[in-house]
Structure 1
């Protein structure tokens, strides 16, 4: 996820991650489509959008807000006249299907990758059925050994050594100015 599709856009960290993904996906015979802008997330052009948690959460909340806004506009429009109300009755099967596809309880469970285990986050407004769907996603990923398969693929392309976690004792010595260790040395 980036602010543009051009390879020169975004932070150095994003460009570096894209470069590493390009190499890794080529070695794994996978497709890497490059940077994607937030307005393309819902189009279905790609199967996976790689993002940090902060940017990804903002993008998802913006999409949810836009969907709610459009839904509210449709409801008001359908109730604006007798003709619109009749149109709503005729289009009811289509609006029910759309509502089903947009309901987080039916498609609940975002997978967090980059961790040493299966982590599936449920939507905050999910019902018990939505949470059950997220648990089912986690169970399926465990059965499919997702974490082990990803680790094996990363090891195969040498990507398992790209970034090592910083120990807590090292993290407490971070320079407060925001400079890196190299800048402080």
Structure 2
């Protein structure tokens, strides 16, 4: 009988030790889980902070890109307008040269004894229209200076296009008036003898 209590005592010691080990293991496991949970929370907070930083940086990048695109658009608008101004100035020069040549022709025709008062009136109307083109171009340059400072490049470009269309229409009207003068001259003769142009 002595043997039986020793086994019972050993079983109780083993059960007590196993229970203690189980409890220690459970505590360690809970501590590890708690630490892992805290680490996850810290990582989540860092991740959220990085995400917010990225969002604000992305917004800054978008704003910078919009500004850069806006500046590029402004440059393109200015290039477009300057190119159109050069074209209109060249057209005005050509119209003035054509008007001078027509006036010279009228002077020669008048010297030949023809009445050119109607053609001179038409030429005066054409010169007035050329002056209107020059004035419109000057106004467009002034208005472009104010439009270029606009915050919205899209509306600025629309205004520039409208200015250019207005000047273009006046240039077409001036050209049409010069064509009318030239058509009215066609029936007039310089004199009895024809003129010849030497060939080159």
- TM-score, normalised to structure 1, is 0.31
Relative contact order higher in (CA < 8 Å, ≥ 6 apart) = 2
Q: Which has the larger radius of gyration?
A: 2
- TM-score, normalised to structure 2, is 0.29
